[in-house]
Chains A and B, each alone.
Chain A
Amino acid sequence: MADLVKFTIDGRELEAPAGTLVIEAAKRNGIEIPSFCYCEGYSLQAACRMCLIDVEKMPKMQVACTLPVGAGMVIHTDSDQVKKARKSTLEFLLANHPLDCPVCDKGGECELQDMVFRYGAGESRFTENKLHVDEQQWSPVVFYDGPRCILCFRCVRACEEGMGVGALGVINRGAVSLIAPNHGDHLECDECGQCIDICPVGALTSGAYRYQTRPWEMEHVGTICTHCSDGCKTTLGVRNDEIIRGNNRDRSGINGEFLCAKGRYAYDFYNHAERIQSPLVRVGGKLEPVSWSKALEVVANKFGEIRSRSGEIGVIGSNHTTNEENFYLQKFARHGLNTNNIDHHRTGDVVTLIDALSGTTGQLATTQDLYEKKAFLVIGTDLALEHPFLSFQIRASHRHHEAHVYTITAEKVREDNYAVRAIRKPAGQEIDALEELRTALAVEPELVIIFSDSVKGDAVRKLVEFGQSLGTAVKYCALVDYSNSRGAIDMGVVPELLPGYQPSGKPGLSAQEMLASQTLEALWVVGANPLKDAAMASKKTFVVVQDMFLTETAQRADVVLPAASAYEKNGTVTNVCGEVQRLTRAVSAVGAKTDLEIIGLIAKEMGLAATVGPWVPDTVYNEIRKTVKGYNIPLAMLAVQSQQTAPVNGRVPVESRPDLIHSAHNGLFTSGTLGRYSKVLHTVMESRESRSAQEEMAHS
């Protein structure tokens, strides 16, 4: 802990650790020193000169963003000279800045507007011609309005330093300087859109949101992104029950200032034209729309009839549904339908990891650990494409804490750019490279090991054995694919386990076995699409599907029940690091019902409502708190921040079935079924494909 330094700002005696920048010390004490180019976490610039302040005994005004506090320093942020300086800097900025406020997306949430309101220069003395360049579209989702740009270079740093992509640069010189994209007239990048969020003015704007509305017309709902398992918070702007945009301006989630293309733009699947809005029942070979009561009646009758004969029913759960829905589903399956045939598409070997860590506590990494720890071993994944937030954290730890990164992957990955060692090993053979790294890893002060589905079963045990033998503090993270993949395992949506990693003690069919079975009489699929890559052996099985779209599985179904998306319901989800977070409903489901409600209604229709209880998310959550080990976290705490579950630290006495574990290895623009229905993601992918084709032709 650095020594504390005493100093004075505006007559207030304060103290801060030595080395703290004046602008930070002021901020922490509630004193705002305005700035454009200063951006916490990114390299210092001192370029905008907005943060000039008076320091006694220093002849010239100093910039607060690069000046560390000094013992006995007397600082004035409210003197006449400082006020004049701020006003003149704004006046200079507004000289060439166009009067676009009436048509600029940023109006209402623009830092330049805010500063002018606060520090003056609203009336300009500039009467010359302003510089002008035409607006440019750099990608389907990024627009650049050069005249508005104040050249604070936040976007350049966010892309280069934060994302490690470096797709934005500066061209020309002086007042005609401009930000330029890496391919001359367009961007080839991750399309994460952080440049748009970080731009203080409307120079960089979102192509998906452009000209649609004003910020004050929207209600902003912060919820957890429904795509990958990183668990980022995305802020959805909702107007008239419609999601108009997604962004991360409030930065209050575990993801800090990070958000990727999926979290930002790919909410648009929710109102795709093909979204199912009414229940469907197969009549005469064709799916016909029917009322809810009719559909539920059909399902309840069929399930009830099979159950009364103790016929075989199978249930396939989801990687996306909430913890409440997963808990409820397996409870109804086991206690209502009397079946242990319950499974989901497993994407990572969490079970073996937890078993291998038996008897220990605190060895599962959180996303915060990925920023704070000083060494990382990444196995079997291109983290920047598949788990961009985790990659962001590690990169930030490398930048700020000089963390060491080691990779064992089949191909080159972005982490290699700053890795200490990068080893190539085909998927499934990564463990063979571990011993090579022993000497280097053993001298690291601490280590986080992140691995994908290519390490499963026994390989996980070997990996943990290796980690525990290094003699340094190690944490682990088993990667899983989707927004609640971890929660699905935690809640026992597998035949071998009950919620909380207790053995079910009974045999049960896996999802594969259910599809292959000739004796399964009913298959109930909730939020999954197993028939995308597999076929159903039996034509006689009665299939009920709860989903948003007519997927391949829904097309085979006898009854289709429209389900709500994650943005249309409340509940909790658990991310890849076991951090439990709350969903907050942003818009109403049209015609669809939440999966929780559908399960409850089926139970009720079957006269079995007592086996599951009320289908209210908070009520189910309270039951989870009482019965699922590690989930005893008050909802009120989750409302404020995520909490990591602390799963059982005893043996998990079941085999994890590595043969059933298979990650989809989604990339930046794919996300299983949801990604297929996102127009924005498709537009982005198509623009890259057509560009590549054009460029190939140009070069051939």
Chain B
Amino acid sequence: MLYNQPNPLEVKVLSRRFTLPNSQSIETYLANDGYKALEKALDMTQQQIIDEVKASGLRGRGGAGFPTGMKWGFVPRQSPKPKYIMVNADESEPGTCKDRLLIEYDPHQLIEGVMIAALAVGSEQGYVYIRGEYRYLIDVMDRAIEEAYAKGVLGDNVMGRGKKFHLATHSGAGAYECGEESALLESFEGKRGNPRIRPPFPAVAGCYQSPTILNNVETFCAVPAIILSGAAYFSGLGSPKNGGTRLFCLSGHINKPGVYELPMGFNLMRMINEVGGGMRGGKKLKAVIPGGSSCPVLKANECDIAMDFDSVAAAKSMLGSGGVVVMDEDTCMVNAALRIMKFYAHESCGWCIPCREGTNWLKKLLTRFHEGMGTRSDIILIGDLSKNMLGRTFCPLGDAAAMPTIAFVEKFQDEFEAHLDGKPCPYENTSRPVTA
């Protein structure tokens, strides 16, 4: 089953094999440039691979946007400890649905990217941490891994060139926090999914306290194209310092929601209108979450921006995971803030006080507020509590809960005031409830 109709404006690099029949199989992969980058990388030195990735301008596609080549460079390759490659397939950021497609439609691309990373740092073992809710994808990944072993791609003699690499999947168990890299490692090691004290960072002390490269699925998937077609090609697809393409997940009140691979720097309004097919039912645009629920919302008049890490940051939001959520004029912003806070309160791991208590308090407060039982001082309190969480929590989940809330209450104060004095939600009677 196809995920959505491709759009002619797409630049299909990572997703170029999605529409091929039997795209999951290694046969299809090999017939379409499959594992050629790996062969090339087997002839490169570790430093050459890392330099190529650095030059490509690839930045982490999980949300933080950290330069990938630099991250790989932090691994102490001389260390006698074994090196690990860990794939973060715990895709849980609300609004994000791209990694599932990359695994479902082109699992071998992921394997190839992982193996090139392994060559870069001398790793012989990798794991794919897949969120437990993606049960069927764990099977897909396992089958692809089996195929790769059978073809001699994985194993003790990679492609007959004497190197070893082994790969296995590991299932998550339903926790958003386990997408945070150190919490993922804790969960992988069989412990509670609480994040770790950093420093040291995973590059130095990660899986089993050994040097680990931990990246998002999409980040690894970009690596074969970089190696095969060159860093200049990849970086040229995007904007300066924001190289390449990325998979944008367009959802919300648009005519053509779906996952589209577009160059970094593509304009957001164009994305909504020309790729997403414009607003559904001819409604007006009210707000857009540009990169997953952790990112501050953009008002309609703030959306004429390039979608790359630096430009969105300049607009005081984040490119994040590429989850673009489009909301029309009939959407209650208070309810949106509430729905997002419910998510964070549920997912807070409970380790640190500001996040655990802050998200819980805000959830209750926003619930009461949305029901019309809030006061003017509550509006101030919402912002105050959020600011008290910001920068003070153990891991960025607290920030992820605080920043959007601050944005909602500051940019849509009139909507909050419209819920005061027992007034019913002005959007209550629309036919499209936002709450779950």
Report which of B347, B368, B391 forms a contact with A128, defined as CB distance below 8 A: B368
Given A175-B345, A175-B350: A46 touches B360 (CB 8 Å cut-off): no
Measured CB to CB, the nearest residue on chain A to B350 is: A177
- Check B323 for interface membership: any CB of A closer than 8 A: no
- Check B393 for interface membership: any CB of A closer than 8 A: yes
- Beyond A88-B354, A89-B392, A175-B356, 13 extra complex contacts between A and B, CB < 8 Å: A44-B197, A47-B352, A47-B394, A49-B353, A61-B391, A89-B354, A92-B356, A92-B388, A128-B361, A170-B350, A173-B348, A174-B349, A174-B356
Q: Number of contacting residues on B, CB 8 A?
A: 28
Shortest CB distance A125–B (Å): 6
- Check B358 for interface membership: any CB of A closer than 8 A: yes
- Check B42 for interface membership: any CB of A closer than 8 A: no
Chain B residues with CB under 8 Å of A4's CB are none
Shortest CB distance B344–A (Å): 9
Chain A residues with CB under 8 Å of B381's CB are 125
Shortest CB distance B307–A (Å): 26
B134-191 contacts to A, CB under 8 A, are 175
Report which of A66, A89, A174 forms a contact with B348, defined as CB distance below 8 A: A174
Identify the interface centre among A49, A61, A150, A175: most chain B CB within 10 Å of its CB.
A175
- Check B16 for interface membership: any CB of A closer than 8 A: no
Q: List 12 A-B contacts (CB under 8 A).
A: A46-B197, A46-B352, A84-B388, A89-B354, A92-B353, A129-B364, A150-B353, A173-B347, A173-B349, A175-B348, A175-B350, A175-B357
A21-79 contacts to B, CB under 8 A, are 44-50, 52, 60-61, 66
Chain A residues with CB under 8 Å of B352's CB are 46-49
Chain A residues with CB under 8 Å of B345's CB are 174-175
Would you call the interface of chain B mostly helix, strand, loop, or mixed?
helix
Given A92-B358, A173-B175: A46 touches B394 (CB 8 Å cut-off): yes
Chain A residues with CB under 8 Å of B356's CB are 92, 151, 174-175, 177
**Across the interface, do B197 and A88 meet the contact criterion of CB distance under 8 Å?**
no
Measured CB to CB, the nearest residue on chain A to B390 is: A60
Shortest CB distance A252–B (Å): 30
- Check B192 for interface membership: any CB of A closer than 8 A: yes
B362-420 contacts to A, CB under 8 A, are 364-365, 368, 381, 388, 391-394
Chain B residues with CB under 8 Å of A125's CB are 381
A603-643 contacts to B, CB under 8 A, are none
- Check A464 for interface membership: any CB of B closer than 8 A: no
Report which of A49, A126, A170 forms a contact with B354, defined as CB distance below 8 A: A49
For B326-365 the 0/1 string (1 means CB < 8 A from A) is 0000000000000000000111111111101111110011
- Check A85 for interface membership: any CB of B closer than 8 A: yes
- Check A131 for interface membership: any CB of B closer than 8 A: yes
Interface residues of A (CB under 8 A from B): 44-50, 52, 60-61, 66, 84-85, 88-89, 91-93, 95-96, 125-126, 128-129, 131, 150-151, 170, 172-177
**Across the interface, do A174 and B394 meet the contact criterion of CB distance under 8 Å?**
no
CA–CA, A606 and B89, complex, Å = 90
Given A89-B353, A128-B368: A174 touches B391 (CB 8 Å cut-off): no
Chain B residues with CB under 8 Å of A85's CB are 388, 392
**Across the interface, do B360 and A175 meet the contact criterion of CB distance under 8 Å?**
yes
CA–CA, A131 and B363, complex, Å = 13
**Across the interface, do B357 and A92 meet the contact criterion of CB distance under 8 Å?**
yes
Shortest CB distance A402–B (Å): 15
Shortest CB distance A170–B (Å): 7
Shortest CB distance B63–A (Å): 18
Measured CB to CB, the nearest residue on chain A to B355 is: A174
Chain B residues with CB under 8 Å of A49's CB are 352-354, 392-394
**Across the interface, do B357 and A95 meet the contact criterion of CB distance under 8 Å?**
yes
Shortest CB distance B174–A (Å): 10
Measured CB to CB, the nearest residue on chain B to A129 is: B364
**Across the interface, do A173 and B350 meet the contact criterion of CB distance under 8 Å?**
yes
CA–CA, A150 and B352, complex, Å = 10
Shortest CB distance B359–A (Å): 7
CA–CA, A555 and B89, complex, Å = 76
Chain B residues with CB under 8 Å of A48's CB are 352-353
Identify the interface centre among B347, B356, B358, B393: most chain A CB within 10 Å of its CB.
B356
Shortest CB distance A13–B (Å): 26
Measured CB to CB, the nearest residue on chain A to B388 is: A88
Shortest CB distance B168–A (Å): 26
Measured CB to CB, the nearest residue on chain A to B364 is: A128
Chain B residues with CB under 8 Å of A45's CB are 197, 351
Measured CB to CB, the nearest residue on chain B to A44 is: B197
Report which of B197, B354, B359 forms a contact with A174, defined as CB distance below 8 A: B359
Given A150-B353, A174-B349: A92 touches B197 (CB 8 Å cut-off): no
CA–CA, A32 and B154, complex, Å = 56
CA–CA, A88 and B381, complex, Å = 12
The list of the 8 closest CB pairs from A to B, nearest first, reads: A175-B360, A128-B364, A88-B388, A92-B357, A177-B350, A174-B348, A174-B350, A95-B361
Chain B residues with CB under 8 Å of A150's CB are 353
CA–CA, A173 and B175, complex, Å = 9
CA–CA, A264 and B212, complex, Å = 47
Given A92-B361, A150-B353, A151-B356: A61 touches B392 (CB 8 Å cut-off): yes
Chain A residues with CB under 8 Å of B353's CB are 47-50, 89, 92-93, 150-151
CA–CA, A368 and B359, complex, Å = 46
CA–CA, A91 and B362, complex, Å = 13
Chain B residues with CB under 8 Å of A177's CB are 350, 356
Chain A residues with CB under 8 Å of B350's CB are 151, 170, 172-177
CA–CA, A46 and B195, complex, Å = 11
CA–CA, A84 and B387, complex, Å = 11
Chain B residues with CB under 8 Å of A52's CB are 392
CA–CA, A177 and B353, complex, Å = 12
Given A48-B353, A49-B353: A131 touches B348 (CB 8 Å cut-off): no
CA–CA, A472 and B39, complex, Å = 58
Chain A residues with CB under 8 Å of B346's CB are 174
CA–CA, A126 and B353, complex, Å = 15
Shortest CB distance A21–B (Å): 12
Identify the interface centre among B192, B349, B357: most chain A CB within 10 Å of its CB.
B357
CA–CA, A174 and B345, complex, Å = 7
CA–CA, A91 and B392, complex, Å = 14
Chain A residues with CB under 8 Å of B349's CB are 173-174
Given A46-B394, A174-B349: A93 touches B357 (CB 8 Å cut-off): yes
Measured CB to CB, the nearest residue on chain B to A125 is: B381
Chain B residues with CB under 8 Å of A47's CB are 351-353, 394
Measured CB to CB, the nearest residue on chain B to A151 is: B350
CA–CA, A170 and B391, complex, Å = 25
Shortest CB distance A18–B (Å): 16
Chain A residues with CB under 8 Å of B391's CB are 60-61
Shortest CB distance A60–B (Å): 5
Measured CB to CB, the nearest residue on chain A to B361 is: A95
Shortest CB distance B196–A (Å): 10
Measured CB to CB, the nearest residue on chain A to B351 is: A47
CA–CA, A640 and B349, complex, Å = 46
CA–CA, A61 and B392, complex, Å = 7
Measured CB to CB, the nearest residue on chain B to A150 is: B353
B194-213 contacts to A, CB under 8 A, are 197
